[in-house]
Amino acid sequence: MSTERQIRGLWLGTKEGSKSDCEIVTVADDLSAYYDLLNCEFIDIARVKVRGREFEIVCDDEGLFVENNPVRFTSADFKYRIVGNIFVCALDENSDGELRGLTDSELKVVKSRLAKDMDVKTGEARTVLIGDMLL
Protein backbone atom coordinates (compact mmCIF):
# COMPACT_ATOMS: atom_id res chain seq x y z
CA MET A 1 0.00 0.00 0.00
CA SER A 2 1.49 3.34 -1.07
CA THR A 3 0.94 6.58 0.75
CA GLU A 4 0.76 9.87 -1.08
CA ARG A 5 3.10 12.59 0.01
CA GLN A 6 1.22 15.36 1.80
CA ILE A 7 2.26 19.01 1.82
CA ARG A 8 1.08 21.85 4.03
CA GLY A 9 0.60 25.30 2.62
CA LEU A 10 -1.52 28.41 2.67
CA TRP A 11 -4.61 28.45 0.45
CA LEU A 12 -6.16 31.76 -0.62
CA GLY A 13 -9.37 31.70 -2.59
CA THR A 14 -13.07 31.10 -2.58
CA LYS A 15 -14.94 27.85 -2.19
CA GLU A 16 -18.55 27.05 -1.57
CA GLY A 17 -19.41 26.63 2.08
CA SER A 18 -16.24 28.26 3.40
CA LYS A 19 -16.41 31.41 5.52
CA SER A 20 -12.68 32.07 5.21
CA ASP A 21 -10.73 32.95 2.09
CA CYS A 22 -7.39 32.05 3.68
CA GLU A 23 -6.64 28.70 5.33
CA ILE A 24 -3.69 26.50 6.22
CA VAL A 25 -4.38 23.25 4.37
CA THR A 26 -2.63 19.95 3.79
CA VAL A 27 -3.07 18.34 0.38
CA ALA A 28 -1.70 15.36 -1.48
CA ASP A 29 1.18 16.34 -3.75
CA ASP A 30 -0.83 15.20 -6.75
CA LEU A 31 -2.21 17.00 -9.81
CA SER A 32 -5.82 16.00 -9.16
CA ALA A 33 -5.58 17.34 -5.59
CA TYR A 34 -4.35 20.70 -6.90
CA TYR A 35 -7.14 20.80 -9.49
CA ASP A 36 -9.71 20.18 -6.75
CA LEU A 37 -8.17 22.65 -4.30
CA LEU A 38 -7.92 25.43 -6.88
CA ASN A 39 -11.12 24.53 -8.74
CA CYS A 40 -9.38 24.57 -12.10
CA GLU A 41 -8.39 22.37 -15.04
CA PHE A 42 -4.78 23.48 -15.57
CA ILE A 43 -2.20 24.60 -13.04
CA ASP A 44 0.94 26.66 -13.21
CA ILE A 45 3.63 27.19 -10.59
CA ALA A 46 5.13 30.63 -10.06
CA ARG A 47 8.14 31.40 -7.90
CA VAL A 48 7.79 34.54 -5.78
CA LYS A 49 9.79 36.35 -3.15
CA VAL A 50 8.17 37.37 0.11
CA ARG A 51 10.33 39.26 2.62
CA GLY A 52 13.41 38.10 0.71
CA ARG A 53 12.50 34.39 0.88
CA GLU A 54 11.43 32.28 -2.10
CA PHE A 55 8.08 30.51 -2.22
CA GLU A 56 6.10 28.63 -4.85
CA ILE A 57 2.53 29.54 -5.79
CA VAL A 58 0.42 26.85 -7.41
CA CYS A 59 -2.30 28.67 -9.36
CA ASP A 60 -4.92 28.35 -12.08
CA ASP A 61 -3.07 28.62 -15.39
CA GLU A 62 -6.22 30.05 -16.98
CA GLY A 63 -7.14 32.36 -14.11
CA LEU A 64 -7.01 35.50 -16.25
CA PHE A 65 -9.79 34.10 -18.45
CA VAL A 66 -12.24 33.82 -15.54
CA GLU A 67 -14.48 36.86 -15.22
CA ASN A 68 -14.08 38.85 -11.99
CA ASN A 69 -11.34 36.53 -10.70
CA PRO A 70 -9.84 38.37 -7.71
CA VAL A 71 -6.15 39.17 -7.29
CA ARG A 72 -4.61 36.82 -4.69
CA PHE A 73 -0.93 37.75 -5.10
CA THR A 74 0.58 41.08 -6.00
CA SER A 75 4.11 42.38 -5.96
CA ALA A 76 4.62 45.37 -3.68
CA ASP A 77 5.02 47.63 -6.72
CA PHE A 78 1.76 46.21 -8.21
CA LYS A 79 3.54 45.27 -11.47
CA TYR A 80 2.88 41.54 -11.08
CA ARG A 81 -0.35 39.84 -10.05
CA ILE A 82 -1.76 36.34 -9.84
CA VAL A 83 -5.53 35.98 -9.89
CA GLY A 84 -7.85 33.24 -8.70
CA ASN A 85 -7.35 30.60 -6.04
CA ILE A 86 -3.72 29.98 -5.04
CA PHE A 87 -1.76 27.55 -2.87
CA VAL A 88 1.49 28.83 -1.35
CA CYS A 89 4.18 26.23 -0.60
CA ALA A 90 7.94 25.86 -1.06
CA LEU A 91 10.46 24.14 -3.29
CA ASP A 92 12.40 21.19 -1.94
CA GLU A 93 15.96 22.31 -2.70
CA ASN A 94 17.22 18.74 -2.28
CA SER A 95 15.03 17.38 -5.07
CA ASP A 96 14.55 17.76 -8.78
CA GLY A 97 11.89 20.46 -8.56
CA GLU A 98 9.50 18.85 -6.07
CA LEU A 99 7.26 20.95 -3.90
CA ARG A 100 7.30 20.70 -0.13
CA GLY A 101 5.19 21.98 2.70
CA LEU A 102 5.81 25.21 4.55
CA THR A 103 7.64 25.19 7.86
CA ASP A 104 6.17 27.09 10.80
CA SER A 105 8.66 29.94 10.27
CA GLU A 106 7.82 30.11 6.54
CA LEU A 107 4.11 30.22 7.34
CA LYS A 108 4.79 33.09 9.72
CA VAL A 109 6.63 35.03 6.98
CA VAL A 110 3.83 34.49 4.46
CA LYS A 111 1.08 35.34 6.95
CA SER A 112 2.90 38.55 7.89
CA ARG A 113 2.39 39.79 4.31
CA LEU A 114 -1.34 39.13 4.01
CA ALA A 115 -3.62 42.11 3.49
CA LYS A 116 -7.29 42.72 2.79
CA ASP A 117 -8.43 44.14 -0.53
CA MET A 118 -11.93 45.46 -1.11
CA ASP A 119 -13.91 44.45 -4.20
CA VAL A 120 -15.35 47.75 -5.44
CA LYS A 121 -18.31 46.03 -7.13
CA THR A 122 -19.46 43.77 -4.29
CA GLY A 123 -17.90 45.45 -1.25
CA GLU A 124 -16.44 42.09 -0.16
CA ALA A 125 -13.04 41.97 1.52
CA ARG A 126 -10.55 39.49 0.06
CA THR A 127 -7.20 38.29 1.34
CA VAL A 128 -4.19 39.11 -0.82
CA LEU A 129 -0.54 38.07 -0.43
CA ILE A 130 1.82 40.99 -1.03
CA GLY A 131 5.26 39.85 -2.11
CA ASP A 132 8.52 41.46 -3.10
CA MET A 133 8.46 40.19 -6.67
CA LEU A 134 7.53 37.43 -9.10
CA LEU A 135 10.64 35.54 -10.20
- List pLDDT tens digits, range 9-44: 999 998 766 678 999 999 999 999 999 999 999 999
7 close to 101: Cβ distance less than 8 angstroms? yes
Give, in order, the Cα–Cα distances in Å from 29 to each of 33, 41, 64, 110. Answer: 7, 16, 24, 20
What percent of the chain is predicted at pLDDT more than 90? 67
What does pTM read for this prediction? Answer: 0.90
Average pLDDT taken over every residue of the chain:
90
Write out the H or E segment, with its range, that includes residue 111: helix 104-111
**Strand-pair partners of 54:** 49
What is residue 134's predicted lDDT score, i.e. its pLDDT? 81
